[in-house]
Amino acid sequence: CRRLSWAGPVLGIQARGLDGREPPHGSVEEMADEYLTAVRRKQPRGPYFLCGYSFGGLVAFELAQRLTRDADRVAFVGLLATLPPGHHLLRLWTWTAYLARQLAQAWGRFKQRSWQRVFDRRDGVVDRSPPDTRRGIFRAVALSALSASAAYRPGTYPGELTLFEPGHRDLGLPSSAALW
């Protein structure tokens, strides 16, 4: 949000559960309910400019549908690297590739730490730092999002969607424009 060149106010909404205190949302609809309340608290009427990254794009899509149904004006819906609803296998494949990369990185860190502990013990120092729970929290929210996206049954949105794609696609996946 800080890098946007938009002159108006920007409301960034973080997924529930990333603070480690609350459980993640269970569905796209549940997220849209909570986010719609937050958006309308800040801006009671449109036009609305919505944007979401990855799974957040599905939430922006759902918000656009709800706002349109309520006769509010939605001026823009931007989806950044967002797979459309109904592509559960692609989404699962994408998350599997992501988790495989995370496991490979974790293995590398584990090997590095193991050697470091050997050296630390020789020096009489033992590493007693707490385990990194941040990754576990992120994983729980990510798995909840994967489950929510698989259960999501979208309606139709009569407006335009603007799709943003990364400069490269993992695993040779088709473009999001082709999928949408």
Q: Which pLDDT tens digit goes with each residue over 13-72?
A: 888 888 888 889 999 999 999 999 999 999 999 899 999 988 899 999 999 999 999 999
Q: HSE, CB side, 13 Å, CA atoms: give it for residue 121.
A: 6
Length of the chain: 180
Q: Which pLDDT tens digit goes with each residue over 59-112?
A: 999 999 999 999 999 999 999 888 887 665 555 656 666 666 667 777 776 666
For 170, the token pair is 């993992």
| Beta pairing class for 48-53 and 162-164 | unpaired
Whether the pLDDT of residue 149 is over 60: the answer is yes
The string of DSSP codes covering 4-55 is ---SS-----PPTTTTSSSPPPS-HHHHHHHHHHHHHHH-SS--EEEEEETH
- Secondary structure of residue 80 in the 3-state scheme: strand
What is the rounded distance in angstroms from the CA atom of residue 113 to the CA atom of residue 107? 10
Q: Which pLDDT tens digit goes with each residue over 150-168?
A: 888 888 899 999 998 877 6
The string of DSSP codes covering 108-164 is HHHHHHHHHHHHHHHTT----PPP--HHHHHHHHHHHHHHHHHH-------S--EEE
**What is the helix (H) or strand (E) element at residue 97, kind and residue range?**
helix 88-122
Q: What confidence score (pLDDT) does residue 6 get? A: 76
| Average pLDDT for 117-122 | 48
For 81, the token pair is 């690297």
Q: Is the peptide bond before 23 cis (omega within 30 degrees of 0)?
A: no
User: pTM of the entire structure?
Assistant: 0.72
